[in-house]
């Protein structure tokens, strides 16, 4: 429908903006200075905190990665790139990287996938859904150490719940604590259980804020449930998916408490050793803080690249 007048009663084509200024132009420079000062004032507290507690330690960490610092020693001697050469040449590096990759991909993929599925289910009008929502979210607020201790009992090869269930159906009980593959499965499962609620609640919030008219339009057009999910829901969840992919990835890579409580990076020394746990092991167990800083720096670079790729991929225009 076309109209010849706008809502203000002006004829189309007429200017509706503010009147042209008359006289000399305003002194913009003072206004800009004020804006910049205000911006600086507002940013300064956070910026100072970031510099002091994040970027300065980061630079310090990079500096230490080129030393042989024993964590108890008052001095650190420069060693050039030898820590990096050692890390790339060491036999256990591949194992640590593959553990980190498997753990991260599994936890990010499964917790986001399951979180979305649960969010879609509990977004329906179901009886008792609020209770179920609380139950799904609750593990997220429990400390990782407590979850680790609880799941030690769940997977205990002598008394555990898993043993009990498998024995009932006649399946041999794997030794979760002695077999590296099963140990990695155990800590991955435990971590997913703990963090599922986070993905769930973020997706649920996104689903509740979606455009109802698009759902109605899809229904009127007779879209199948799969087409509705793929063409209507997923595009609207894209920013949420991007946000989750970054935050869940970062928290997965940082996991420490559950591994420390359940396996201490073992069995067989590095069965569940991830990059973060290697930083801890090298720094506080082997006392090689310089080498630990090297692992941390490598991890920083890997994550930086991954995050840049994520940002680029998500920034691509949708087809």
Q: Which segments of 197-262 are extended strands (E)? A: none
In angstroms, the CA 84 to CA 62 distance is: 11
CB nearer to another protein: give 65 or 133. 65
CB nearer to another protein: give 218 or 261. 261
Task: Tell me how far, at minimum, the Cβ of 221 lies from another protein, in Å.
Answer: 30
Task: Tell me how far, at minimum, the Cβ of 99 lies from another protein, in Å.
Answer: 14
CB nearer to another protein: give 113 or 269. 269
Task: Tell me how far, at minimum, the Cβ of 68 lies from another protein, in Å.
Answer: 7
Half-sphere exposure of 168 (CA within 13 A, CB side): 6
Task: Tell me how far, at minimum, the Cβ of 279 lies from another protein, in Å.
Answer: 5
In angstroms, the CA 295 to CA 117 distance is: 36
Task: Tell me how far, at minimum, the Cβ of 82 lies from another protein, in Å.
Answer: 10
Task: Tell me how far, at minimum, the Cβ of 128 lies from another protein, in Å.
Answer: 35
Task: Tell me how far, at minimum, the Cβ of 264 lies from another protein, in Å.
Answer: 4
- Token digits of residue 15: 């200017």
CB nearer to another protein: give 109 or 239. 239
CB nearer to another protein: give 69 or 136. 69
CB nearer to another protein: give 122 or 275. 275
User: Which residues of the shown chain bind another protein in the complex (CB under 8 A)?
Assistant: 50, 53-55, 57-58, 60-61, 64, 68-76, 152, 157-159, 177-178, 239, 242-243, 246-247, 250, 253-254, 263-270, 276, 279, 281, 283-289, 292-293, 295-297, 299-300, 303-304, 307-308, 310-311, 314-315
CB nearer to another protein: give 136 or 190. 190
């Amino acid at each position: 429908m076309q109209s010849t007048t706008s809502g203000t009663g002006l004829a189309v084509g007429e200017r509706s903006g503010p009147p042209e200024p008359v006289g000399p132009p305003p002194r913009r420079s003072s206004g800009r200075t004020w804006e910049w000062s205000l911006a600086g004032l507002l940013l300064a507290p956070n910026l100072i905190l970031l510099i002091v507690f994040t970027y300065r330690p980061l630079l310090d960490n990079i500096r230490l990665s080129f030393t042989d610092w024993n964590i108890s020693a008052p001095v650190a001697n420069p060693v050039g790139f030898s820590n990096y050469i050692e890390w790339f040449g060491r036999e256990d590096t591949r194992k640590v990287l593959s553990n980190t990759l498997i753990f991260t991909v599994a936890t990010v993929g499964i917790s986001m996938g399951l979180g979305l599925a649960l969010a879609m289910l509990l977004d329906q009008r179901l009886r008792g859904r609020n209770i179920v929502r609380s139950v799904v979210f609750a593990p997220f607020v429990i400390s990782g150490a407590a979850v680790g201790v609880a799941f030690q009992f769940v997977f205990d090869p002598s008394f555990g719940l898993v043993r009990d269930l498998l024995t009932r159906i006649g399946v041999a009980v794997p030794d979760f604590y002695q077999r590296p593959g099963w140990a990695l499965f155990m800590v991955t499962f435990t971590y997913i259980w703990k963090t599922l609620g986070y993905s769930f609640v973020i997706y649920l919030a996104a689903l509740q804020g979606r455009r109802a008219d698009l759902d109605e339009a899809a229904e009127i057009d007779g879209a199948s449930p799969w087409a509705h999910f793929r063409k209507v829901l997923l595009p609207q969840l894209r920013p949420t998916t991007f946000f989750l992919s970054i935050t869940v990835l970062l928290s997965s890579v940082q996991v420490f408490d559950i591994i420390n409580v359940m396996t201490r990076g073992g069995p067989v020394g590095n069965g569940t050793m991830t990059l973060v746990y290697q930083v801890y092991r090298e720094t506080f167990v082997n006392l090689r803080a310089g080498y630990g800083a090297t692992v941390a720096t490598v991890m920083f670079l890997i994550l930086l690249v991954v995050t840049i790729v994520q940002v680029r991929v998500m920034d691509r225009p949708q087809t």
